Structure 1
Amino acid sequence: MSGGMVPVPGEHVLVDVRAPLREMVFPFLEMIAATGVLWIIIGWFDATDAGRYGVGPLHLPPEWRNGFVLLWVVLVVWRFVVPLLRKRRRRMIVTDRRIIFRADGFRSRPRSLAMSAVTWAEKERGGLAVYLRDSDLPVYYGGLPKIRKIARMINDPLA
């Protein structure tokens, strides 16, 4: 555990969840499509006759092939690896004393909510709604797995 997401001594962790991997389906499919298209182009560059200068049917310089390989690497990092790392930073820890939540993103900081201020928690619109004593509006946490289990642990920590 790192970056303020560490329970203090004496706290008992009830739930510790991260963002689900199902949020990476479309970036994964996008990566597969980019890989297919770009490696078809790179294969076309590799279809050269031995002994001729350049690659491919148009006899382009070999640096063009390397440029497409670099383009593929940049696309995979930009459209898959960075979103994966950003989303996997989303995390929620429920202890017997507080709720600690960190949103996705590299600059996000953990937020803490005392369990003594919580009156009720429930699944609402695909996310977790936590109702507080001093507010009419709930605090909403979206994009978490096992929302019903988290709500049950917040409402009845002994369950």
Structure 2
Amino acid sequence: MGYPENILAEGEHVVVHRHPHWKALVVPTIGFLVVTALAGVAAGFTGSSQLSSSTRSVLWIVIAVVWAVVVVWFFLRPLVSWRTTHFVLTDRRVTFRNGILTRSGIDIPLQRINSVEFRHGLLDRMLRTGTLIIESASDDPLAFHDIPQVEKVHALLYHEVFDTEVDPGRRAR
């Protein structure tokens, strides 16, 4: 599912649009490979066993159903969730949307942002990702985790906030 461009106001332009970093999919992918290998081994043992053909068929169906349930829950669900999570910076606001069946989101107008910071450890620095923390006028700071190229997004957000405060008419397009 792509970002819904129809939620933008007239004249509003997207500066940055990001999904969470791909590292969020590493564990589900490894899980998929392990479960598939285990299902293959179980199916191989079932096929080479001295069971009756009807028992063997039932076991193959059980293996296939268990494999499908595990793959859907631990691989496809995180993949779809990753794909439907959007962090968007426009020239007027920061928008975060996530969810598969039930959606949730938050919009922060640039004028209400007091401070912007980022954090990332050694692994995050190597993967060029991190956590972006936005403090707005009346709310507790909001942390957005696994933002790809977090330093670039931080700089762009800072410049959008600074440019809006210095010359509000300059951003109107």
**In structure 2, distance between residues paired with 1:102 and 1:132:** 18
- Contact preservation (8 Å) 2:112, 2:136: yes
Which blocks of at least 5 consecutive residues in structure 2 are unaligned? 121-129, 164-173
Change (3 A) 1:14 1:132: same
Residue of 116, 128, 131 corresponding to 1:127: 131
> Contact between 2:108 and 2:136, CA under 8 Å: does it hold in 1?
no
1:83 equivalent among 51, 60, 78: 78
Paired position in structure 2 for 1:93: 88
CA contact (8 A) 1:5 1:110 kept: no
Distance 1:148 1:92 in 2: 14
Task: Give the TM-score normalised by the residue count of structure 2.
Answer: 0.75
Q: Could you tell me which amino acid in structure 1 is paired with residue 63 of structure 2? A: F
Task: Report if the CA contact (8 A) 1:19-1:89 is conserved.
Answer: no
Q: Per the alignment, do residues 90 and 70 of structure 1 end up closer, same or farther by CA in structure 2, a change over 3 Å counting? A: same
Per the normalisation by structure 1, the TM-score is 0.81
Mapped contact 2:3–2:86 kept (Cα < 8 A)? no
Q: Structure 1 pair 68/149, CA: closer, same or farther in 2 (3 Å)?
A: same
Distance 2:39 2:13 in 1: 50
Deviation at 1:61, TM superposition (A): 4.0
- RMSD of aligned Cα (Å): 2.2
Identity of aligned residues (%): 21
Which aligned segments of 4 or more residues in structure 1 are displaced greater than 6 angstroms? Answer: none
Whichever residue aligns with residue 133 of structure 2, its letter is A
Are the aligned partners of 1:117 and 1:132 in contact in 2 as well (CA < 8 Å)? yes
Distance 1:20 1:124 in 2: 14
Structure 1 residue 57: Cα displacement: 2.1
Instruction: Give how far 1:138 is off.
Output: 2.1
Structure number with greater Rg is: 1
Equivalent residue number for residue 106 of structure 2:
111
Distance in 1 (CA, whole Å) between partners of 2:117 and 2:101 is 28
Aligned residues: 149
| Correspondence 1:19 to 2:20 | yes
Most deviating of 26-35 and 4-13: 4-13
> Structure 2 CA distance, aligned partners of 1:7 and 1:81?
29
Equivalent in the alignment of 1:145: 148
Query: What amino acid does structure 1 have at the position aligned with 2:39?
Result: L
Greater CA deviation, 23-32 or 120-129?
Answer: 120-129
2:43 alignment partner in structure 1: 42
